[in-house]
Structures are given as structure tokens and as C-alpha cells.
Chain A
Amino acid sequence: MKLFVFAIGGTGARVLRSLTMLLAAGAKVPDNLTIVPILLDMDMQNGDTARALNTVELYRTIRTAAYPNGVAPATQADAPRAFFSTLIQSLGTLQSETTQERIGDSFLPQLTEHQGTFEEFLNVSTMDDIDRELLKVLYDNSAKPTSAELKLDLSVGFKGNPNIGSVVFNALEDSALYKYFVGAFNNETDRIFIISSIFGGTGSSGFPQLVKLLQEPSQKMPIRNARKGAVTVMPYFALEENGQSAIDQNRFNSKTKAALSYYQNQIHLDSLYYIGDKPGAKLYANVEGGAKQANNAHVVELLAAETVLDFANRGAGEFAGAKTFYEYGLRRDDRQLDFVHFADTTYRNVMLPLVRFAYASKFYTEYVPANLRESFAKSLGLQQQLGSSTYFVALTKFMGEAFRKWLGEMADNDRKFDPFNFQTDFNGMVRAKQIEPKTFMGFGDKGINENFLLNEAGDAEPKLLAQYPQPETRLMHLLMTVADKCMQKLGDLNRQLV
């Protein structure tokens, strides 16, 4: 099953980043799932988008090398999925019936070839005077060169102005990207999911336009019949005051209200997920898009990403026909979250895989480089390749930098989600539960120490050797095996709120 995920705007990109992390960690998804992320943004330089793209690209590099024939190991009953098991494909790599125009391999296909201001996009200069005057009524055309709506440089997005975005997204139907998508969507079991924010510019304007396109009566049957879902992220952060910015956060809530009433009547999807949060004390920098718009990850994005998985996990029979609305709730409204705050499904499907992945990442990025002389490392060729081979480097970047940074940002945000402490040893990594050594006079169970890791890795690697002669694949399985052993040491976590 292919799931086409449209991630619209900066929020879409941030949720996609979290989604990639969850998929890397082996969060619960159907075995045969392929995710086709399509980032929709005018703002090609957006920092959030760039970060999401990097993450997905790293994911793709790692997965290609780790599972050379494209097939990740099937999930055993009750066991978590393999790391990086879900295939992430770009739209451009799919077969499309209408292949008149290639759209490239990027996860961020070009939305429009237009470059310049909104005014130029509308070709205002060629308009009749009457039309021009009407436009001036609808859009702010004040002398302020940066914030006047008609003077907006569209290459940095719509800056929280859906009234501009909706006009631009109206042209989506004619874009090469959309035509390619229509040509590539041929299977009625494939699904569509849309991630957008309700309060921004790009997301809030792109989402209704996209949905409208997808449910047009003239739309081809597979697309019309396909199960569709969407997550709408409602405001969850506050911006710093910035008089120079065109983005006005005071209009976030009013825009949200207006949009919600519109969605209720005009948007017809099988599942519609709503998530939002009361903005925390941390203020986001108010930047009008571009490279500087790189907002820290937030637990809301992680949970929004989970909705993608939830949608994918639902069996075909679970869609009753009528559209279903979902909202996310925590077990308790605390400003600082730990595993215990999440419902059992989230805990099981998402959080435990994250713990497992965290162990693997700590093992791979901290233990392994320091123990390259051990047999398992030599057998994997890590001594020579760890710092040079594309795969190993990508994995180091993903586990050591991207994953850590993502977690670090969530830990630093408000609401705070800080489940791991990577500054300490393995025994203390999971904040929710310190692994206590059970030793007597220096003998006995020391929890997860170097000897434990060496023994487990040394034991597992030769066993994997026959089955996975490729070092890349074997390393991935080794990481999972070692992580599983660490999980066994960790044991069950507390699920009782106190």
C-alpha cells in the first residue's frame, strides 16, 4: 500500500521530519507500506523544509543500503518493526501514466515556475483598471514595501496569508507536479494523507485547495475512491513580536476559527485529525520564511506524525463511509511530558520503538566508534568504513545528529518532551527508569555496561553473518538485536501517572 503524504508548508515539513524519525525507529505501520511524501511549499529555501528534506534523504540513503533488495524484514508477531523498514519514495520515482514531463526525484517538487511578487504572479500590470481596483480592495497594497500583500515575494511562501495562498494554489491543478501525481495514482488501495497547519499561510490555503482538487467530480476514479485523511495542526506555538514581519500571530486563532467552520462543511475526507496545543512559554522567532524559518521540533509534531501512522494502520474496513474526526488528548495536562503521559497505543506504537532506536543510536554513535577493534566491528568493516562509507556516515548523521537534535529540540520546547538523557550511560539513558545494577562484590548484573554491549554484539554478529553477508544489512540487524537486549534490561516502564 502506498500512502501519498502531502506535507504543506512549514508545519507540514516539520511533521514530515517527525514522521521520518518515527519510521526510522520502526514505529508500528503495515508491513507493505510505502510512503510517498510530497512537500508542497512555495518557499523552497524554508529552513524547516530543508531540514525535513535532509532527514528524508538520509533515511532514503540508509534504507537503500540497509535493505538492498528493497524489502525490509517482515514484522514478527508482537515485535517492533525493523528500523528504517518503511519504504519512502519520492513522487518522481513512481511510474506515471502521464509522463510527458518529468518532475525530478525531489521530495519537494516545484509548485510553480513563477518567481517574483504576488502582483507579478497575478499579472496585475496586464489587467484592466477595474480588475486592478478590485484587487486593491481585496489585498493590502500599502506603501510598506515588505508587508504589502501584492508586493509579497512568493518565493518565501505566503507568510500566514491564506488569501494569497489560495490564489496561488488554485494554479496547482495545472502544475506538472499535480499532473504527475494524478498519473501515478492508479491503485484504489493506495491512500492519500494531507498534513497542514490551519493557522499558517501555505498550509491553510493549500489544504482546502488540494482537497477540492482531489474530490472534483471529474477526478479519475482511483483518486476519488481512495481513502483520504488529513491532519490539521492548530496553533501550538507563539511567535516573538516582530514589527517587520508580515506574519501576525494575533490572527492565528481567528483564522483557525474561520477555517474550521469551512472544513466542517466543505472538506470531505474519511478521517480528519485535529491536534493543537496552548502555546507554551517558548516563543518562536518570527521569520517570514526562508532559511531562517527553522522552528524547533515540538511534541505536537511528533503526535501529528503519529496520525499518519494511525491512518495507515487502519484496515480498509474501518472506514465506515462517514467522515471521522479525531482529536488527540494527553492523559494529563502537564507542561513536561514523559512516556507515561501518552495513551497506551501511542506508547506501544511509537514510544517504545523510540526507546529502542535511542539505545541503538547510543550504541552506534558512542559505543561502536570507541570499540572498532572488537571482532564484530572488524567483521562489519567498520574500522575502515565507519568514517568514509556513505551508508555508515549517513547512519551516523541520522542517529548521532538528526535524531539527537530532534529529540533535543523537543526537550527544549514548551511543552517539554525530554524522555532521554544521552549525557549519561546506557543505564540512565531512559529518564523514566534508571537500570539498577544488581551486583554483589563486583559480580553480577551490571545493567547495560560496556561488557554487556560487547558480549551481546559479539554474540549476535557472527549469528547474523550467514543470513546477512552484506555489512550494511547486518549492521542494521545488529543494532536491532543489541537494542532489543537493552530493552530487555530496561524491562517494563511505569504506566501509572503519579
Chain B
Amino acid sequence: MFTALYELLIGKNPDPTYRNTVFTPVGLLTLVIMLGLAATFYLLLGRWKAVFHRTSHWVVTLVVALVIAFSLAVSYAKDATGEPEADSYMMGFGGVNLILAGLLFFGFSLLFRRGSKFARYTPF
């Protein structure tokens, strides 16, 4: 599923490493991390105390999520392919994963905010 998604957006890389060992784990990890971040924001902190629940906090979390998604994708790809430097394909992959992470985080936000106390209307 993730492979198809990534290849649709950034095209195919001839190196099968991407298909075999990068796309799916990175996609799943991104999914899980976004799930975790959203759950932490809404269900953990958002139910515990009103300390980190405002839209500004959400934006900070989103930025962290995007940074994680981008660096996760790039570093994972670098590791898997053994490249010493990230190439343009990896940057593209990081960018697409960043967008994916943004959408996922947003989606999970909509999903989880009902379960929150203090962040039910965050980000809007």
C-alpha cells in the first residue's frame, strides 16, 4: 500500500531496496508515530492536564511530526541504501513522507480530538 503510494508520488527507484525494505517500514513507522503523537497530544496530555492543548501547541507538535517524518524517511533510506549522502530521490521521498505525515497527523487529530478533554477543538 505504502509502496504504491510513494511510487505514485515520487516515481520508482530502480534500487529494489526501496520497495523491499524502505517504503513499507517507513510508511508503517510514520503511521505509528503519527498515531502515537496524536494519541499523546489528544488522549494523554489532552486528558491529563490543560498544559499542552492549544492550537499553537498543536502546530508545534505538527512541526515536530513533520521533522520526524522527513528525517525518518531520509535517514531510513540512507541507511538502507548505504548512501553516505542523501540524493534527490531521498529528499523527494522525505518530502512525500512529510506530506503523508501531515495528512495522517491531521486525520488522527480529527479522530482523536473527540476523546480529548482540553483539545477537543484543537486545531479548530
Contact = CB atoms under 8 A, between A and B. Distances in A.
A451 B54 contact: no
A375 B120 contact: yes
A458 B121 contact: no
Contacts of A379: 120-121
A161 to B, nearest CB: 62
Q: Does more than half of chain B's interface fall in helix, strand or loop, or is it mixed?
A: loop
Contact of A454 (B55, B118, B120): B118
Contacts of A458: 50, 53, 117-118
B109 interface: no
A144 B120 CA distance: 72
Contacts of B49: 451, 455
Nearest to B121: A378
B119 interface: yes
A152 to B, nearest CB: 62
Contacts of A461: 117
A301 to B, nearest CB: 41
B30 interface: no
Contacts of B117: 375, 458-459, 461-462
A455 B54 CA distance: 13
A102 B19 CA distance: 85
Contacts of A462: 117, 120
Nearest to A460: B117
Contact of B116 (A375, A451, A455): A375
B122 interface: yes
B23 to A, nearest CB: 37
B120 A451 contact: no
A378 B54 CA distance: 12
A459 B47 CA distance: 8
A479 B122 CA distance: 23
Nearest to A379: B120
Contacts of A374: 50, 118, 121
A461 B50 CA distance: 13
A374 B57 CA distance: 13
A-B pairs, top 5 by smallest CB distance, nearest first, are A378-B121, A375-B120, A454-B50, A458-B118, A458-B117
Interface of B: 49-51, 53-55, 116-122
29 contacts: A373-B54, A373-B55, A373-B121, A374-B118, A374-B121, A375-B53, A375-B117, A375-B118, A375-B119, A375-B120, A375-B121, A375-B122, A378-B120, A378-B121, A379-B120, A379-B121, A451-B49, A451-B51, A454-B50, A454-B118, A455-B49, A455-B50, A455-B118, A458-B50, A458-B53, A458-B117, A459-B117, A461-B117, A462-B120
